[in-house]
Amino acid sequence: MFVVAGTPPMFMATFNATLGPASPIVAGLAGGALFVLSGALWGVPFAALVRTPTIGNGIAFGLVPALWLWVVVAPVMLGKPVFFGFALPKLSLPFVFNCLVWGTTVGWYAGADAPAADGEAQASVASS
């Protein structure tokens, strides 16, 4: 986004607004690392709270950080209106990244990594 359109991605803008102006390289690398770390940390309560993880559950769980961006980060950290003034590109990116990308990935991964049901576990032990 930054290279093509000249507009810094939200994680770069948030990094600069929170920790002070930095070069695009520093803001991109550090902001990107913090973005990935926050996504990984948000996966912990998902895995702990969701009993049957699915892609749909992941997408639904991803709405919470999207709402956080729209309602808290935009006005408090970035000085933008709530929900970014309903500007479609700014409104859609948190949904795409938090729900569609993060939610589907975490929902799929946690679902694939979930322990087998008791009947399946006993059947696999019996066949061994």
How many angstroms separate the CA atoms of 38 and 40, rounded?
A: 5
**At which residue do the structure tokens 């990107």 appear?**
32
Is residue 35 included in any domain, yes or no?
A: yes
How many angstroms separate the CA atoms of 119 and 121, rounded?
A: 5
Coil, helix or strand for 52?
coil
CA distances from 43 to 15, 17, 72 (A): 21, 25, 20
Is residue 43 included in any domain, yes or no?
A: yes
Kindly report whether the global pTM for this prediction surpasses the value 0.75. no
Which residues lie closer than 8 Å to 55 by C-beta, 6 or more apart?
A: 103, 104, 107, 108, 111
Is residue 31 included in any domain, yes or no?
A: yes
Confidence at residue 5, expressed as pLDDT on a 0 to 100 scale? 58
Helix axes 24-49, 10-19, angle to 10 degrees: 100
Number of domains in the chain: 1
Is residue 58 included in any domain, yes or no?
A: yes
11-46, pLDDT tens digit by residue?
Answer: 888 888 888 899 888 998 998 899 899 889 999 999
Show the low-confidence residues of the chain (pLDDT under 50): 118-119, 121-127
Q: 95 is in which domain, residue-wise?
A: 10-113
Is residue 121 included in any domain, yes or no?
A: no
Confidence at residue 118, expressed as pLDDT on a 0 to 100 scale? 46
Is residue 1 included in any domain, yes or no?
A: no
Is residue 97 included in any domain, yes or no?
A: yes
